[in-house]
């Protein structure tokens, strides 16, 4: 299971498939793919597994190959940015 790190208010602005995200806990600003923002919004709604997220977001992502693996890669990257954590 994955969730947003508690206590953060993530502010983002999107355009042309990219987004800028500000993390108020760390003070960091990130340039992210629009699909990653969709993933963060899904986790903001409720924690979920990698497979659960793939099922919820399948219609929103255009991925060649394994969607679960692609979402797993995105989750690992977001965890590395201290935006999400496993729970």
Domain count, the chain: 1
pTM of the model: 0.88
Per-residue pLDDT tens digits of the chain, which is 87 residues long: 999 999 888 889 999 889 999 999 989 999 998 889 999 999 999 999 999 999 999 887 777 778 899 999 999 999 999 999 999
**Residue 78: Cβ-neighbour burial (10 angstroms; 0-12, 13-18, 19+):** buried
List, as own/partner pairs, every contact residues 63-72 make where C-beta atoms lie below 8 angstroms and the sequence separation is at least 24, other chains included: 71/39
Question: Given this model, what pLDDT does residue 49 score?
Answer: 97
Domain containing residue 39? 2-86
Domain CATH for 40: 3.90.930.60
Question: Given this model, what pLDDT does residue 17 score?
Answer: 83
């Amino acid at each position: 299971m994955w969730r947003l790190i508690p206590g953060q208010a993530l502010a983002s602005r999107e355009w042309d498939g990219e987004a800028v995200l500000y993390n108020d806990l760390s003070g960091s600003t990130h340039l992210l793919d629009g699909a990653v923002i969709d993933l963060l919004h899904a986790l903001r709604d409720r924690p979920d597994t990698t497979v659960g997220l793939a099922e919820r977001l399948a219609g929103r992502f255009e991925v060649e190959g394994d969607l679960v693996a692609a979402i797993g890669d995105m989750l690992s990257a977001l965890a590395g940015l201290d935006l999400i954590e496993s729970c």
